[in-house]
Amino acid sequence: MSSAVDYIDLWIVAGQSNTDGRIELSKQRPSWLLYSNIVPNVKCFNSSNNRFELWKYSDSSVVLNNNEDKWAYDSTAIFKYANLVNKEQYVIKHSLGGSSIGVNPPAGNGQWNSNYHLVTRSLLRELEDKYHSAMKVLNQKNKTIVLRGVLWHQGESDSNSKENENAYYHNLSSVIKKIREFTHCSNLPFIFATIPKQSKQFSMIINMAHFKLSKKKYSYIVDLHDGTTFDGIHFDGTTAERLGNDMLKIMASIRS
């Protein structure tokens, strides 16, 4: 990797369980991952010790989202992007399984709603705080920071009620707006995917909301309609790796 660079590439990753990662390395590994479990040339922000560390699966000292032998699509996308641009990548990741955006009723132990006061645990506020902490660390490197985009997968838990389904377009739009506000990046690319039709939590209303959102500027969608799961909800390795590869194509196409 080239060290003679004057800027830092930064990505935000967020969502619920399929972003968290549910595929056990012991059962199915991504084809590119070495048996050291290290994601080469990618560093993740560890908010517990306030620093960026090498991304290594099965190592709880790196990121709380990857403290078991489980992986998600994001590492495929960002690892391959690092290889494509021949440059180390930095990641801020925040995800929690079972988390809805909607609050009628709220699902999970935390929610992504942009109205922080409506939830007992605001995941979006936590992401905002993590972002500001990470930026303080990066600013000490005296390099320009280029926030490349957001990788997101979420929506299954909003199928828990008609109210949340019907509000999903507005709610996710508000999440995107909030992220762009606290990052001070009005044209921040938002890269996301639909829920596979095979999923037990597939919702046509949420699916339509995803495609409606994809028509907005700086929003990019991956259609996972034929994606597969290992338990009826969570991506199997084939679909997770495919999603990572499809996101990579978008990441490369919007690179400037």
Q: Domain for residue 107, yes or no?
A: yes
Joined tokens for residue 164: 């949340």
59 band by pLDDT with thresholds 50, 70 and 90? low
**Mean per-residue pLDDT, 115-124:** 96
- C-alpha dihedral over 126, 218, 193, 25, to 10 degrees? -60
Q: Domain for residue 32, yes or no?
A: yes
Q: Domain for residue 43, yes or no?
A: yes
**Cα dist. 169→25, 61, 136, 193 in Å?**
34, 36, 33, 14
256 band by pLDDT with thresholds 50, 70 and 90? low
The structure's pTM equals 0.95
What is residue 61's predicted lDDT score, i.e. its pLDDT?
45
Q: Domain for residue 233, yes or no?
A: yes
**Domain total of the chain:** 1
Residue 2 has pLDDT above 60, yes or no: no
Of 51-60, 87-96, 175-184, 187-196, minimum mean pLDDT range: 51-60
Bigger pLDDT: 227 vs 67 = 227
Residue 4 has pLDDT above 50, yes or no: no
Residue 1 has pLDDT above 50, yes or no: no
Joined tokens for residue 243: 């999603």
Q: Domain for residue 2, yes or no?
A: no
Q: Domain for residue 165, yes or no?
A: yes
What is residue 26's predicted lDDT score, i.e. its pLDDT?
86
Question: What is the domain-level CATH number for residue 85?
Answer: 3.40.50.1110
The boundaries of the domain holding residue 108 are: 7-253
Residue 213 has pLDDT above 90, yes or no: yes
Q: Domain for residue 177, yes or no?
A: yes
